Amino acid sequence: MECIAEMPPAPLDRRPRKRQRLGWDVGPAGMHQVQLGLCGQEVVNAISAVALGLSSGGIVSSQLNQGQARDGSPPLREDDKDGHYVFAVGDNLTPRYKINAKMGEGTFGQVLECWDKERKEMVAIKIIRGIKKYRDAAMIEIGMLEQLGKYDESRSSCVQIRNWFDYRNHICIVFERLGPSLYDFLRKNNYRSFPIALVREVAKQLLEFMHELRLIHTDLKPENILLVSPEYIKVPDYKVSSRSPKEGSYYKRLPKSSAIKVIDFGSTTYDQQDQSYVVSTRHYRAPEVILGLGWSYPCDIWSVGCILVELCTGEALFQTHENLEHLAMMERVFGPLPYHMLKRADRHSERYIRKGRLNWPEGCTSRESMKAMMKLPKLQAMAPPASISIDLKVGEIFELSLDNVASFSQPSDFDQADQERAPS
């Protein structure tokens, strides 16, 4: 059995093998038993912590100590032009953490794999860009993570914060080291679909997570759902898709465990707060968000439905970057959008509607858009609802999202900024 964080190409092996009997446990047990604690040796932003009521591990700002020599600290370097922390593998990040590798990068900053010298284990450290708006958002995320850490029920499906500190004007958040995201697993597996049994387990955990915490994540997507374990198994797979290379296409990888954890709580909110701005990455954005109707829990439910279809097919359900085309795709897959939603569209989205219905195909801007629309099948053809039924079928998940937007209040503001998935 292989246990790796990255999945290299496997050599071609045409030998027949007995198909393994698979059953996914939510395990591994004990992965969620994390003690929250902050270490006094790290430098923290005490002012921000006090203002937000966060537990901090120190009282000295990093800026007070930047000029002081510290044993094992790397030389001071200028941030790059985008405000990202400049590092070298092998550097210390405070005396406690040693940088081992870069795991990823996003709008917020970078994620580094580091060795925790005190706990003798690998951790993931999210290093926020040294820009005020990102620092402020990071402090809000820390507050949310510390609140989530108090709920025993959330530990099986919420990433756990280990520590946080302010280092050279960069908020650093220390997390448990997890496996790859669902999106990375799909990508490195040539976008092969997950087995129905595994999709069912993922769906169950996501829906339980939302029900228990009573929070609105607002950015659920495969990139923000991580497998707890990097371990996988290889099973025969003789279906070669257009996105699968010929070499190595006779096998596919399956996660050994279905246990997942949700990450990125920087935009998480409570239901009683004002929700009138644009949320969610484009592919997983609910219709009420596009139409400016305001949003609540159903926007997360819609995102879950999109995620489940993607796991079943290997492809994002709505591959578009334009609002009218996006809404037309929804109608193509599910049928006409409810009239009560269209008639209440805000002033920014009125141009998508004409005479009480979606302005499509009249408003179509290109022949390519029309062709892409006609190729879209109905939901039942992509992911038969009966095959992945849990407490709710996939179709019912989308219907629940649509039914619950009727009571939303008209938004007072509308943020036009789209959060697009980076091209793969």
What HEC string does the chain produce?
CEECCCCCCCCCCCCCCCCCCCCCCCCCCCCCCCCCCCCCCCCCCHHHHHHHCCCCCCCCCHHHHCCCCCCCCCCCCCCCCCCCCCCCCCCEECCCEEEEEEEEECCCEEEEEEEECCCCEEEEEEEECCCHHHHHHHHHHHHHHHHHCCCHHHHHCECCEEEEEEECCEEEEEEECCCCEHHHHHHHCCCCCCCHHHHHHHHHHHHHHHHHHCEECCCCCHHHEEECCCEEEEEECCCCCCCCCCCCCCEEEEECCCCEEECCCCCCEECCCCCCCCCCEHHHCCHHHHCCCCCCHHHHHHHHHHHHHHHHHCCCCCCCCCHHHHHHHHHHHHCCCCHHHHCCCCCCCHHHEECCEECCCCCCCCHHHHHHHHHCCCHHHHCCHHHHCCCCCHHHHHHHHHHCCCCCCCCCCCCCCCECCCCC
CA 420 from chain centre, in angstroms, equals: 12
Q: CA 219, CA 282: separation in Å to the nearest integer? A: 10
Catalytic residue flag (residue 219)? yes
Asked if 95 and 78 touch (Cβ cutoff 8 Å), the reply is: no
Instruction: Extract the tokens encoding 266.
Output: 């920087």
The catalytic residue among 91, 166, 219, 300 is: 219
Active site residues per annotation: 219
